[in-house]
Amino acid sequence: MAEKMALAKAINESLRRALESDPKVLVMGEDVGKLGGVFRVTDGLQKDFGESRVIDTPLAESGIVGTAIGLALRGYRPVVEIQFDGFVFPAYDQIVTQLAKMHARSLGKVKLPVVIRIPYGGGIGAVEHHSESPEALFAHVAGLKIVSPSNSSDAYWMMQQAIQSDDPVIFFEPKRRYWDKGEVNTEAIPGPLHKAQVVRAGTDLTLVAYGPMVKTCLEVADAAAEEGRSLEVLDLRSVSPLDFDAIQASVEKTRRLVVVHEAPVFFGSGAEIAARITERCFYHLEAPVLRVGGYHAPYPPARLEEEYLPGLDRVLDAVDRALAY
């Protein structure tokens, strides 16, 4: 059943499969019905599963997440869409204070299998609030799991697993990769949701990334290979938990690490990875862990985003710096 499909389509198929196989699965959000979402990720689902399962909601993100929590308490498994990254903050309180903590508050009695889908990141030339990468703002909060696929197959399978998870999962979708096609085998047996994958083996330095930056890192590895450098690329896939074992294993081999994400560097994922890997691999590292990411400034207007986003050159620059130690 392997088929080539765009990443957005893979999520669409995965949602379809979940809606088909479990009557408790719901899809809800702004414009997810007839329109199929602004990125068409929910295209056709309301037509096939009806308005009771694929729900156009009022324009109120706190309301969407808050009612999803209530639906989960009633036994449903809502998959909620937040239209763009920058619009998740009105729901922030419900997410960090209720969704994340209710399981613990109830001493394990209550489970909240809610998935929050967020198309995130830049690179599509959008207006303000449509290009942010807020994953660190959720990773700091216990009770949430955070994942981000980089390719169609992972998009399909990780969505299946996120929906099956009894914990709330924030599912960050790399919107600028929505149209990238990749093989999806809908009969495969996927690996664990929160394990990283070596997507390119190498010996000289490890690049870690997730979501949209994995593709960039693979391009960097190609470019570096031309200069005779062998980079290992690790696709983290999960931001909480982070697969430190996999990073450590790679770094013990390559002895150098560069972390790449679109989100601002300051207090970003790279900080946590650098801190913990330095502790774990103190005697292995030949260079400090370097980080490439956004600057400490609001996401810039579209005409500047190329300078803001980590691209081939900026990552290569960091690779060079790390190798120079």
Ligand X SMILES: Cc1ncc(C[n+]2csc(CCOP(=O)(O)OP(=O)(O)O)c2C)c(N)n1
For residue 106, the partner it binds in other proteins, ligand X, its own copies, none, with Cβ less than 5 to 8 A by kind, is other proteins
Q: Which of residues 223-282 bind ligand X (CB under 6 A)?
A: none
For residue 109, the partner it binds in other proteins, its own copies, ligand X, none, with Cβ less than 5 to 8 A by kind, is other proteins
Q: What share of the chain is helix, strand, coil (3-state, %, to 5)?
A: 40, 20, 40
Report helix, strand or coil for 158. Answer: helix
85 C-beta neighbours (distance < 10 Å), count:
25
Does residue 83 interact with ligand X by CB under 6 A? Answer: yes
For residue 267, the partner it binds in ligand X, its own copies, other proteins, none, with Cβ less than 5 to 8 A by kind, is its own copies
The nearer residue to other proteins, 169 or 184, going by C-beta atoms, is: 169
Report helix, strand or coil for 169. Answer: strand
For residue 70, the partner it binds in ligand X, other proteins, its own copies, none, with Cβ less than 5 to 8 A by kind, is other proteins
Cα 147 to its chain centre, rounded Å, is 4
The nearer residue to other proteins, 4 or 140, going by C-beta atoms, is: 140
Report helix, strand or coil for 95. Answer: helix
Q: Closest approach of Cβ 124 to other proteins, in Å?
A: 9
Residue nearest to ligand X (CB): 87
Q: Strands 197-200 and 231-235, how do they pair?
A: antiparallel
Rounded distance between C-alpha atoms, residue 89 and residue 49, angstroms: 29
The nearer residue to ligand X, 126 or 236, going by C-beta atoms, is: 126
* Helix segments in the chain, DSSP class H: 7-21, 45-49, 61-73, 92-93, 102-105, 136-139, 152-164, 213-226, 244-254, 269-280, 305-308, 312-323
Does residue 87 interact with ligand X by CB under 6 A? Answer: yes
204 C-beta neighbours (distance < 10 Å), count:
18
Q: Which of 63, 90, 191, 311 forms a contact with ligand X (CB under 6 A)?
A: 90
Beta strands in 88-180 (DSSP E): 115-120, 145-147, 169-174
For residue 67, the partner it binds in its own copies, other proteins, ligand X, none, with Cβ less than 5 to 8 A by kind, is other proteins
Q: Which of residues 27-66 bind ligand X (CB under 6 A)?
A: 30, 59, 61
Q: Select which of 129, 130, 261, 284 is catalytic.
A: 130
- 189 residue type, one letter: I
Specify whether 130 is catalytic: yes
Rounded distance between C-alpha atoms, residue 185 and residue 162, angstroms: 18
Q: Closest approach of Cβ 221 to its own copies, in Å?
A: 22
128 C-beta neighbours (distance < 10 Å), count:
12
**Residues within the interface to its own copies (CB under 8 A):** 62, 86, 89-90, 92-93, 96-97, 100-101, 104-105, 128-129, 136-137, 139-143, 240, 263-264, 266-272, 274-276, 278-279, 282, 287-291, 295-298, 325
Catalytic residues: 130
